[in-house]
Amino acid sequence: MIDFQNAEFLNLKPVDNTSFQSYIQPVFVPGEEVLASYKTIRDGVVFTNKRIFAINVQGLTGKKVDISSLPYSKIQAFSVETAGVLDLDSELELWFSGLGKVKFQFVAKCNVAEICRMISNFVL
């Protein structure tokens, strides 16, 4: 499992929803589909209609991959900080039961309000 206390998902940018499909498709449950995908240089975050996948590509070759499944049902609270004039990124913090805080940082052009609306549909 990714150590979310020390791991950072910085400068996440929107990517095609098939970008991480080869990693996560094998663990999908029936009816699960990708809603949004974001990528750093190598790592990524994928929002499905069932959960959030945090993907950490490791090693020089990138063949070792750590995938953490974060179900919406375990989210207790979330917070968003939108981009400002000098601060060009947005941050999303999620608090999970039994796991603690998970933080994702998105580039300014990401629609973080839409991500929050999507999470709210599954949490509330």
User: Which domains does the chain possess?
Assistant: 9-123 (2.30.29.50)
The pairing of beta strand 100-107 with beta strand 9-15: parallel
On the question of pLDDT at 89 being above 90, the answer is no
Q: What is the predicted pLDDT for the residue at 84?
A: 66
Query: By the 8 A CB rule, do 117 and 36 touch?
Result: no
Question: How far, in Å, CA of 46 to CA of 34, rounded?
Answer: 7
**Which range scores top for mean pLDDT: 23-32, 58-67, 82-91?**
23-32
Average pLDDT over residues 23-51: 94
Helix (H, G, I), strand (E, B) or coil at 72: helix
Q: Which of 26, 65, 71, 64 is nearest to 48 (CA)?
A: 71
Read off the pTM: 0.88
Per-residue pLDDT of 101-113, as tens digits, reads 899 999 877 888 8
Neighbours of 47 (CB within 10 A): 20
